[in-house]
Amino acid sequence: MSRPLAPNEIRITAQRAQTVYVTYALHAFEGSLPHAPGIAYDFVILRGMGQSIQTCVNIAEILKKRLPGLFQNTHITSELVQKQKGNGTKGKRSKQQLVAYISVKLSKTPLDPEDVGFQPPAIRTMKRVRIALVGCDMSGKTTLHTTMQGEMEVAETGQTFLLEDAGPDEKQWGRTLNVVHGMVWIVDATDALRCGESKSALLRCRHAYPYLPYVVLLNQKRFPPHPRQCSAIVVGEVWDTEQHVSFPCDCQTGRGVQEAMEYLASLMPQGVESRF
């Protein structure tokens, strides 16, 4: 356990939050590690010992739910280690202790099925999906959540989207985004002055959570939108429609939202175990 670790090897401790390790592993799969930019790894290895073994197992389960189709290989070993006890005038005493180690390999490519610790990907249909409503304050998040009464059905996939308002404070968005399966970014399309601010916030959010599928809703006061109303936003330079797939909608009535949710459902992984 003392040798240097590769960028795609993660040493788990019980003291740090699980979300730290989950985010690091997802960045390794996506190829967005700061010290290894552009290198997307096909596998990551989680290593833990002693009290951190359970934490290591929990992180592996979270990653398999975030990235459906991962193969798993688990190895558990133990060895005697020397521990020093005592100090001061009484001196130090050496004591041997048996410590357990765990190594969990999660891979996008198939692993050896003959290995004792092999686990194939779990294939189950996800019926209830948690979706975060995110955006700058006064964009229409709470209005849409109230209009849809917190959930909506997607007939094409047979899924139920459970909508969660991430709130107005960007610093608190992580509490919601760490536990959802997708994101709906809402923009007040009638406020051209804040569109640049909203786009910058979205880019920061995408950098922190690159694995979350998302769609952009352009909240309009009148629907279908008047061409003059959205020309500076949809057609102009503020929102690049090739980079961000966007749909005009009215959060107060819900018109136009169904099409956006159906598109988001097409991005959602179908072979993943639900957390409900």
Domains of the chain: 9-119 (3.30.110.20), 128-267 (3.40.50.300)
Helix and strand element counts for the chain (H, E): 7, 13
CB atoms within 10 A of CB 118: 15
pLDDT tops 60 at residue 196: yes
- Between 188 and 156, the more confident residue is 188
pTM above 0.75, yes or no: no
Contact assessment for residue 121 and residue 68, using Cβ atoms and an 8 Å cutoff: yes
Half-sphere CA count of 261, side-chain side, radius 13 A = 27
Q: What 8-state DSSP symbol labels residue 252?
A: T
Tell me the Cα Rg of the chain: 23
Phi then psi dihedrals of residue 25, to 5 deg? -65, -40
Which residue in 96, 105, 144, 87 sits closest to 9, CA to CA? 105
pLDDT of residue 270: 56
Single-letter amino acid, residue 138? M
- Could you tell me whether strands 159-165 and 151-154 are parallel, antiparallel, or unpaired per DSSP bridges? antiparallel
Task: Please name the residues in contact with 190: beta carbons below 8 A apart, sequence gap of 6 or more.
Answer: 219, 220, 221, 229
State the average pLDDT for the chain.
82
Residue 239 reports pLDDT greater than 60: no
- pLDDT over 90 at 230, yes or no: no
Buried/exposed code over 61-97 (b: 16+ C-beta within 10 A; e: otherwise):
ebbbbbbbebbbbbeeeeeeeeeeeeeeeeeeeeeee
The average pLDDT across 117-135 equals 83
Residue 11: its pLDDT value, please? 93
> In whole angstroms, how far apart are CA 215 and each of 94, 184, 245, 272, 274?
59, 5, 6, 20, 21
